[in-house]
């Protein structure tokens, strides 16, 4: 399933750095896309987690808390 440009109203982008994972929420407001929220969490690439996904999910959780979504 693909989303058409007209129906795409929310985008989440991540940056997994060596110490911090950042996530941004981009929303379509009118005819423009704007970054509305930014979440951040420690990167979990090293022990004990050794799974970068956990840092991504934690940064998403912060986005949820900040945006109320």
The pLDDT score that the predictor gives to residue 63 is 96
The domain segmentation of the chain, as residue ranges, is: 10-67
pLDDT in tens, 11-66: 999 999 989 999 999 999 999 999 999 999 998 887 777 888 999 999 999 999 99
Residue 2 has pLDDT above 70, yes or no: no
Residue 1 has pLDDT above 70, yes or no: no
The pLDDT score that the predictor gives to residue 45 is 81
In the CATH hierarchy, which top-level class contains the domain 10-67? alpha beta
Q: Report whether 21 contacts 59 (CB < 8 A).
A: yes
Q: Please name which of 61, 58, 63 lies closest in space to residue 24, comparing C-alpha atoms.
A: 63
Which of the two residues, 52 and 4, has the higher pLDDT score? 52
Beta strands in the chain (DSSP E): 10-16, 20-29, 32-42
């Amino acid at each position: 399933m693909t989303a058409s440009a007209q129906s795409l109203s929310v985008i989440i982008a991540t940056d997994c750095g060596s110490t911090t994972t950042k996530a941004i929420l981009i929303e379509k407001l009118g005819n423009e896309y704007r970054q509305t929220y930014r979440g951040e969490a420690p990167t979990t690439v090293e022990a004990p987690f050794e799974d970068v996904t956990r840092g991504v999910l934690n940064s998403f959780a912060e986005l949820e808390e900040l945006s109320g979504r």
